[in-house]
Amino acid sequence: MLMIFMQEKEVSRLEQIESIAKRRGFFWPAAEIYGGIAGFWNYGPLGAALKNKLVREWRKEFVKKEGAHEIETTDILPEIVWVASGHAEGFNDKQTACKKCRNRFRADHLIEDAVKGVEKLEGKTCEELTEIIKKSNIKCPKCGGQLDDAAVFNLMFEINIGPKGGIKCCLKPETTQSSVLDFPNVYRTQRGKLPLKIAQIGRSFRNEISPRQIFIRMREFNMAELQIFFNPEETGWDGYKDIKNCTVRILPAQMRGKDEKEVEINIEVAMKKGWIPNELIAYYIAKVFMFFENVLKIDRKFLRFKELLPEERAHYAKVHWDFEVYTDEFGWKEIVNNAWRGDYDLKRHQQHSKQSLEVFENGKHILPNMYEPSFGIDRMILHLLLHSYRSDEKRVWLALPKALAPFSAAVFPLVKKDGLDKKAEEIYKFLKNDFDIFYDESGSIGRRYARADEIGIPLCVTIDHQTLEDGTVTVRDRDTTKQERVKAEELRKKLNE
């Protein structure tokens, strides 16, 4: 075991995570036996369990506690929806192709990779990107060939529906539009009143030019979103009083620029400084921050909200904050997109569908505004795994939060004889209906502990000869490796703690 560990010690944390993921069943490339397909990943049993638990916690926080209405919608929507939403015209990246090998690259990524400390490329036109490529003499990273001028590339997957393929549709690049389209139905059927919150957990599809870095840039990915439809004249927020004393780490537009650094600040103070425009946005900034700190248990020094400058914002956004998580591997990465989209979406769909999407409240017709925190689930999972990774000279373990670990506990007989295996099975059966229990009886106990640590099992319950005498078992803690003896019948209580 030590040998294996010594060999692995050379590899990076990300490679370690990837190796654990593949060996133990967190994730692997889709269609792997055919060589996989870039940007598409599958969750194995442990990854699916982790994802389900994360989604369960998200639901608690952003659906249940928020009193939101969760809907489930189709992945395919007709082209007209994307014309109305602006995606058909504006959901683009800029690509450049190699004149020799015809490989294609995302122009901004290519420049970022080739030129250290390059200026900000967000919002640059094709002409500007082409000029930088030429000036910096950037060549094809695959074959060293000359590169074409940068050109616009729409990221949506088009799909033709029906036996003659006559109905042009797209796979949705974000779940938001379905919430906007369904807003009148939810409002009507749920006896709605503004503010009305719609939640969705679903998939998005983007034909990324250069998918990379595992879950950072995928072509099919999972999102959890909350859309808050509200009266633009009422941005005072009920929950504000509960969060106004929280401190968060933010990098507001006023502090962007060279050597930008986030500050730790009390929400109320940030509001007084005018760094956060209203109570509604302040409330969700605090909620998202606390979710990462309290549920994912990522140290707050690795978390921040960064306000986007006008040239960086999406076409629909009035105010736009990226919630970012830091890792040495990826730097600061956007994990949750937080946008005040004004009435942009409802207005555009009203124009294109020729249907009124207004509501009538307090004697007035109102076209609501919408604010959304939009979480990338897969990026959350990758960052959670990276931040949970621990190693010392003896072992590797994932310090996953107990509420999210794929298994709550492992049950091991010390040896597979003397009736210990029978007793262990009995205890496994006693626990398995209420908890996620991992059962393993083969190999040395040391190897079994090592395996349990690597997949983040918080507690290992071992049945030994003393169990048969006095009904106690040992319980080993993943993080400290300390063991204590506990009566077997108290295990449920212990696990509930």
Which residues contact ligand AMP (rule: CB under 6 A)?
Answer: 174, 206, 208, 215, 217-218, 221, 223, 334-337, 374, 376, 378-379
- Non-local (6+) Cβ contacts of 390 within 8 A are 396, 397, 398, 399, 479
- Whether the CB-CB separation of 260 and 309 falls below 8 Å is answered with no
The whole-angstrom separation of Cα 362 and Cα 296 is 41
Measured from the CB atom, the residue of 376 and 413 that comes closer to ligand AMP is 376
- How far does the chain reach from its first CA to its final CA, in angstroms? 32
Nearer to ligand AMP, 336 or 475 (CB): 336
**Which has the closest alpha carbon to 231: 365, 52, 34?**
365
With a CB cutoff of 8 Å and minimum separation 6, the contacts of 58 are 201, 224, 291, 375, 377
The least CB distance from residue 59 to ligand AMP, in Å, is 18
> Which helix (H) or strand (E) element contains residue 353?
helix 344-353
Per-residue DSSP letters for 277-288? --HHHHHHHHHH
In the bound state with ligand AMP, the residue whose beta carbon lies nearer, of 218 and 411, is 218
Indicate the residue among 374 and 467 with the shorter CB distance to ligand AMP: 374
Nearer to ligand AMP by Cβ, of 323 and 449: the residue is 323
Cβ(126)–Cβ(149) below 8 Å: yes
Q: Which residues make Cβ contacts (< 8 Å) with residue 116, sequence separation at least 6?
A: none
Q: For residues 129 and 108, is the Cβ–Cβ distance under 8 A? A: yes
User: Which of 221, 389 has the CB closer to ligand AMP?
Assistant: 221
3-state secondary structure at position 141? coil
In the block, residue with structure tokens 């000036």: 135
Instruction: Quote the CA–CA distance of 125 and 494 in Å, as a whole number.
Output: 59
Nearest approach in angstroms of CB 323 to ligand AMP is 8
Look at the block and give the residue holding tokens 């080993």: 476
Write down the least CB distance from residue 249 to ligand AMP, Å. Answer: 17
At closest approach, how far in Å is the CB of 336 from ligand AMP?
Answer: 5
Tokens standing for residue 2: 């030590």
Q: How far is the CB of 223 from ligand AMP (least distance, A)?
A: 6
Q: What is the residue type of 211?
A: P
3-state helix, strand, coil in the chain (%, to 5): 35, 30, 35
- What SS3 state is found at 180? helix
Residue 2: count other Cβ atoms within 10 Å of its Cβ.
10
Nearer to ligand AMP, 220 or 279 (CB): 220
CA-wise closest residue to 284 among 71, 62, 64: 62
Task: Choose between 174 and 464: whose C-beta lies nearer to ligand AMP.
Answer: 174
Shortest CA distance to 338 belongs to which of 381, 301, 375, 391? 375
| In the complex, least distance from residue 392 CB atom to ligand AMP, rounded to whole angstroms | 31
Residue nearest to ligand AMP (CB): 376
223 vs 431, beta carbon nearer ligand AMP: 223
